[in-house]
Amino acid sequence: MTRTRILIGGGVAAVAVIAVVIFLVWWFQIRDDSPPAVTLEEAVSTVEEATPDATEPAAATATAGSATEHAAEAATEAASEAEAGPVTVDGTWVLADGDGSFVGYRVEEELATIGYKEAVGRTSTIEATITIADGRLTAVTVAADLRDLESDDSRRDQALQFQALESTRFPMATFELTEAVAVPEGLAEGEAISLEATGTLTLHGVTQPVTIPLEAELVDGVLAVVGSLPILFADYDIAQPRAPILVSIEDNGVMELQLLLVPGP
């Protein structure tokens, strides 16, 4: 083998090694596979992909099971009701059984040797009830247990129990509607609707008035609701977390929710 061939072969091997290293760095450190922001389309897709199974409204907290399973039974019930009379959205709606509903956060952070990354954490340990009467949204209560927030890094999850959100001290985040709002008529006809819910948000032991833009759609007997709200940490006395790997973090984030609801008992 000539010297030239040896050099060429060595060069090719070196390039291959570099390529592998770059891929591994991207896969384990740079790659951002955070869940996308909540959308009504995705929530509706979760319902539409339901698999038939017997379910019932959720208990006070999330239990084992699949929200899509509950959506399937809700679809069957809705079909039966449709034969009996027109669809109505008036009444009390509660969480469908399963983990398709969640409350969470997303925030930009800069990590040492990795760079900027969008951190996303979610908890499905929630309670939610909404009431619609005479075409108006008259009551909304959502409570989320922040101790069960999960992201793609358990170290972040553990840190938030004692820093920033301090979920061991302030385990619950809650939203309460304070002003009734008209619900567009198209909701009962299966149309996607938008509205703004004004109420109070309690986070980190601080209560502030907020207005959350919501989108909703009734599909297969399941009311899918999504919303997101920018949060300025200082408004809730939330200090920025500290960690050796954390270079910096934004002073604001986004609270987001996805609720899959069915008629209450």
Compute CA distances 124 → 44, 85, 99, 132, 161, whole Å: 17, 34, 6, 23, 17
Supply the pLDDT for residue 222: 96
Give which of 61, 39, 150, 46 is closest to 105, Cα–Cα: 150
- What's the rounded Cα separation, in Å, for the pair 118 and 228? 16
54-80 residue pLDDT tens: 344 554 444 334 444 554 555 455 444
Residue 99 pLDDT grade (very low, low, confident, very high; cuts 50, 70, 90):
confident
34-263 to CATH, choices 2.40.128.110, 1.10.10.10, 1.10.287.1770, 1.20.1630.10: 2.40.128.110
Residue 211's pLDDT band, with cuts at 50, 70 and 90, is: very high
pLDDT digits (tens, 9 = 90+) for 101-154: 999 999 887 655 565 678 899 999 999 999 999 999 999 999 999 999 999 989
